[in-house]
Amino acid sequence: MGVNTYIGIGPNSMFKSISEQSNIKMPSFFGYMLYSVVILIPCFILISVILALA
């Protein structure tokens, strides 16, 4: 939950502005949410199952 604090939002804002100045396309909020649903959540579930069985 550090992103909800001033300490957490500062590095995120700096990273976004540096990326945009370098003409690197950053995903929107919904683009990142799509990425997390398609890639990150299945990886989390797979790792949880593997560790539960070990």
- Both tokens of 22, joined, read 């370098």
Greatest pairwise CA separation for the chain in angstroms? 46
Q: Could you list the residue range(s) of the whole structural domain that residue 26 is in?
A: 2-53
How many structural domains does the chain have? 1
pTM for this predicted structure: 0.52
Tens digit of pLDDT at every position of the chain (54 positions): 566 676 777 787 888 889 889 998 888 888 888 988 899 899 999 999 999 998
